[in-house]
Amino acid sequence: MTFPESKDFSYFFSQETKSRRPSPLKTCIHHFSNPNLIFLGGGLPLSDYFPWDNLSAESPLPPFSKGIGAPPTGSKDDTLNVAVKKNEKTGNDIPLARALQYGYTHGQPELLDFLRGHTTEIHDMKYSDWDLIASIGNTNSWESTLRIFCDRGDVVLAEEYSFSSSLAACEAQGVITIPVPVDAFGIVPEKLEELLDNWTPGAPKPKLLYTIPTGQNPTGTSLSSERKEAIYRVAQKHDFLIVEDEPYYFLQVGNYIEDLKKREQVYSAPRPTHEEFKKSLVKSFLSCDTDGRVLRLDSFSKILGPGTRLGWITGSKKLLKAYVSLHEVTIQCPSGFTQVLVAGTLHRWGQSGYLDWLIGLRHEYVSKRDHTIDSLAKYLPKTEVFTVVPPVAGMFFTITIDASAHPQFKSKYNSDPAQVENAIYEKVVSRGVLVVPGGWFRTLGQTNPPLPDKSDKSKANEIFFRGTYAAVAPEKLEEGLKRLSNALKEEFGLTN
């Protein structure tokens, strides 16, 4: 089937992007690999002077039958060797001499080839001129996105609680963030539409929707395929781009099963096949995109390791061009060592081995999520004051609290939920556990002239805390949740 080209959204570009010319030095770099041309054109050090002759690493071997946390023993049954030479091109490896040199702002071709293959396995691309480029992770990809599209005073929509670093990047660039109402399942499409339908005349319209659709940080919510389709239609109607920041996409752990017998049946079922796994994944915004108005930010941080500082951006070639021009004068490219090791490992695992890894990783997070929710059910006081909605993806759980139920809500805290939030925070830390107040993640912003206040007054006394089950071993996790529950009991004067 042939698909049409993406639409041209270059009218969304910032002044900075519109004034950027391709770096002239980068326009001749491709001649460097031409053996018939003597390249005297750039400050490229001779690769003979790179002190590394080869690079090798051991990783576990697909299908990771002992679990993805089992370290490789060195035996050929469970250990894969990645060994890459400086000057030899073998298979899909990236020779070190090339990886450690300047050039390839898009990313090394071998890495991009793997990621393109992965994209066609996972997403249902609906226009012809899509592509992807390497990034140094989603923090950088979002900061680049802001610079590419936004000027000071421009507007970005974001979930009403969102990743604080992403909001801070907006603030520093003078970009206004407008909160979009959410419920326990993420953005509510009808409320998003209502917000835009009632946009104040004369106020700048949003250029971007920034969303963390899966295992949202901090609320832990996940958008369904149906909601994504509906949100996409709103984006078409009101003409803005969607940026999906998806570091947790593959941590889709499914519904929490309370009944231990039923759960055991699910746990002991055979691992899903690759086809079953792919089918179980929620549809991405990328897969809804017929226009080329979605930019997807992926990262290896939660899949392979945050220190890889490696990710990728997928979207239309027309928009990706602007990222390449920006990266030519900012990051240049992700680290060559990282690209060599990650591409070397992934190509040896193959697409199928990588799916095995993702399936294994998801399996780990299912038990972490279940252990967390079980422990909260065991230790949290049985009262409507505290609500926990088991997350279906990601690394985060939240405890929503009715601040007005605090015995000193009026007398000590002046009926101010933020003061109760602060008191709880201090109490939990003093009791030896750290969870973070939801207030730290609030999306705050206002246009000029202002938008009508659509905040849900019935939730005015609601506060929440975000915790993660990713960071510690099971025994410590349970101890932490017990301390948290005891601290809340103490703070609210509860005994059960």
Ligand X SMILES: Cc1ncc(COP(=O)(O)O)c(C=O)c1O
Least distance to ligand X, CB of residue 273, Å: 29
Walk across the sheet containing 311-316 and list its strands: 130-135, 311-316, 294-299, 241-245, 206-211, 155-159, 176-180
Question: Is residue 112 within 8 Å of 133, Cβ to Cβ?
Answer: yes
Structure tokens, 370:
């279940």
Question: Is residue 309 within 8 Å of 391, Cβ to Cβ?
Answer: no
Identity of residue 476: K
Q: Which of 178, 188, 192, 186 is nearest to 214 (CA)?
A: 186
Closer CB to ligand X, residue 165 or residue 280? 165
* Residues 332, 324: Cα–Cα separation, whole Å: 9
Least distance to ligand X, CB of residue 337, Å: 17
* Residues 340, 111: Cα–Cα separation, whole Å: 8
What own/partner pairs with CB < 8 Å and gap ≥ 24 does 411-417 have? 417/460, 417/461, 417/462, 417/463
Least distance to ligand X, CB of residue 359, Å: 21
Least distance to ligand X, CB of residue 299, Å: 3
DSSP state of 252: B
How crowded is the C-beta side of 10, counted as CA atoms within 13 Å? 11
Task: State the DSSP string of 378-430.
Answer: HHS-SSTTEE----SBSSEEEEEEEGGGSTTTTTTTTT-HHHHHHHHHHHHHH
Reduced to 3 states, what is the DSSP secondary structure of residue 151?
coil
Closer CB to ligand X, residue 14 or residue 299? 299
Question: Is residue 268 within 8 Å of 262, Cβ to Cβ?
Answer: no
Q: Percentage helix, strand, coil, to 5, in the chain?
A: 40, 15, 45
Residue in the structure block whose two tokens are 């939990």: 428
Least distance to ligand X, CB of residue 298, Å: 8
For the chain, the C-alpha Rg in angstroms (whole number) is 24
Structure tokens, 142:
């979002």
Closer CB to ligand X, residue 103 or residue 137? 137
2-31 burial, b at 16+ Cβ within 10 Å, e below that, comes to: eeeebeebeebbbeebeebeeeeebeebee
Least distance to ligand X, CB of residue 472, Å: 16
Q: Could you count the other beta carbons within 10 Å of the beta carbon of residue 134? A: 25
Question: Is residue 390 within 8 Å of 369, Cβ to Cβ?
Answer: yes
Beta-bridge partner residues of 245: 297
Closer CB to ligand X, residue 245 or residue 328? 245
**Which residues make up the interface to ligand X (CB under 6 A)?**
137-139, 163, 212, 217, 245, 247, 299, 301, 306, 311
